[in-house]
Amino acid sequence: MLRRSVLALGAGALAAPQLARAADLTGVSADEIRIGNTMSYSGPASAYGVIGRTEAAFFRMVNAQGGVAGRRVNFITYDDGYSPPKTVEQTRRLVEQDKVAFIFQGLGTAANSAVQRYLNQRRVPQLFVATGADKWADPKEFPWTIGWQPSYRTEAQIYTKHLLEAHSGAKVALLYQNDDFGKDYVTGVKDVLGARFDAMVTPITYEVTDATIDSQVVQMHSAGAQVLITAATPKFAAQTIRKVYDIGWRPAAHYLTNVSISAATVMNPAGAEKGVGVMTSAYLKDPTDPGWADDAGMNEWRGFMRQWMPDGDMTDASIPYAYGASLTMLQVLKQCGQDLSRENVMAQVANLKDLVLPTIIPGIKVNTSPTNFHPMRQMQLQRWTGTTWHRFGNVIEGANV
């Protein structure tokens, strides 16, 4: 199939069945469409703030190119500090005061969980949330919410399948954030291990309010774990890598959640040499990987950076992430044509077919339907070399459960 350039695609794709009710044009005028966003510009996950800044730059670019259906995109983004109560406050502000058409790329599992029911009750699309929680793919219970990236549960399944092949019988430590984000990894590991989970795995939690996870690392090492799976946000991921190295622990394998693999915000702050051998899964093209130096898709992204984010960190993986998510959102709006009602936006969200994105690894495509709210389900394993991530093996899927 020919590669489809998102920016070149026009409107007019066939719509999925419309959700019943009169069209809701809140947030849409003759010359503007308002899009809402909450982001952790401050707080313990502030490293992700660059996602919101990238999306703001992306929509400035779109507006400079004529907007969408003749309308300027007004991207309204507020800081929630990675605090669910603040997310609720800012989301209500976006919906009830700013009158946005929908919410796009709100960040954080706990944060999005805090507003999911509110947005669905008000029939406000909660689109391509910036979290891989498996719960966003539940169109029967929450038909107005959808994720974007592969789910954490799928990711954990892939790690567990690999460790069983490479380190069968090893004692495993699973460090995870004590919320829905971290618990998805526990579920994914259990999906593969089944009844073997209790005998093989030592689960250790941390709280997002903790200052460090040093004591947890020492506890896992003392328990004799030979393999480590770390499901942590950037600050704690960097701490884990550093502490594991500094206490002389050399696990046979260390798997790291792919939301915390940025060279700029995790690997280098941890000490680039301290993470050599750490493995993760990828669906994004890593900007530090020399294999993408002449890649057409990454050159498209670099062109965007030069013009719209000239001061951006070209090693920060969160930026191509945000660029890919924004292109997906743009494709939905283009498919809507002149009908930018909430109902049609949601219909087009559920009607993405073999979408190829410039910052996504070849072989991985975005597909949705009214019954499939997992846009991406495939990933490829990769290993940290000390300077970049090196991909190995084939593009693979998680377990069927």
Q: Is the pLDDT of residue 19 over 90?
A: no
- H helix and E strand count, the chain: 12, 13
**pLDDT for 47-90, tens place per residue?**
999 999 999 999 999 999 999 999 999 999 999 999 999 999 99
191 located within any domain: yes
The answer as to whether 271 is a domain residue is yes
233-288 residue pLDDT tens: 999 999 999 999 999 999 999 999 999 999 999 999 999 999 999 999 999 998 98
Query: What is the domain count for the chain?
Result: 2
Q: Is residue 287 part of a domain?
A: no
Same domain, 342 and 385: no
- The domain containing residue 105 runs over which residues? 6-150+292-370
CATH number at residue 129: 3.40.50.2300
Average pLDDT over residues 190-208: 96
* 311 and 203 co-located in one domain: no
Q: What is the per-residue pLDDT for 378?
A: 87
Q: Is 308 helix (H, G, I), strand (E, B) or coil?
A: helix
Question: Residue 18 pLDDT > 50, yes or no?
Answer: no
What's the pLDDT score for residue 398?
A: 73
- Please indicate, yes or no, if residue 242 is contained in any of the structural domains: yes
Same domain? 203 vs 344? no
Give the model's confidence band at 401: pLDDT under 50 very low, under 70 low, under 90 confident, else very high: low
| pLDDT tens digits, 142-196 | 999 999 999 999 999 999 999 999 999 999 999 999 998 999 999 999 999 999 9
3-state SS class at 378: strand
Q: Are residues 177 and 81 in the same domain?
A: no
Q: Residue 320: inside a domain, yes or no?
A: yes
Residues 6+ apart with CB under 8 A from 184: 109, 132, 133, 134, 135, 151, 152, 153, 156, 231
pLDDT value of position 344: 98
- Does residue 360 belong to any structural domain of this protein? yes
142 with 159, same domain: the answer is: no
13: pLDDT strictly greater than 60 = no
Pair 337, 388 in one domain: no
Q: What's the pLDDT at 126? A: 98
In a domain, 228, yes or no: yes
Do 209 and 122 fall into the same domain?
no
Both 17 and 123 in one domain: the answer is yes
Residue 400: band (very low, low, confident or very high) from pLDDT cuts 50, 70, 90 = low
pLDDT category at 377 given cuts 50, 70, 90 is confident
Q: Which pLDDT does position 390 carry in this prediction? A: 92
Predicted confidence (pLDDT) per residue in 331-375, tens digit: 999 999 999 999 999 999 999 999 999 999 999 999 999 999 999
Strand locations in 121-252, DSSP E? 126-129, 145-147, 172-177, 201-206, 227-231
257 in the same domain as 223:
yes
pLDDT at 10 over 70: no
Q: Which long-range contacts (CB under 8 A, 24 or more apart) does 370-374 make?
A: 370/16, 370/17, 370/139, 371/139, 372/137, 373/136, 373/137, 373/138, 373/139, 373/145, 373/146, 373/147, 374/137, 374/147, 374/150, 374/151, 374/154
Beta bridge pairs of residue 389: 384
Share of the chain above pLDDT 70, in %: 94
pLDDT at 368 (0 to 100): 97
Q: Is residue 376 part of a domain?
A: no
The pLDDT-based confidence of 314 (bands split at 50, 70, 90) is very high
Domain identity same for 132 and 205? no
Could you tell me if 349 and 259 lie in one domain? no
* Amino acid making up residue 207: E
Residues 63, 129: one domain?
A: yes
Confidence of residue 384 (pLDDT cuts 50, 70, 90): very high
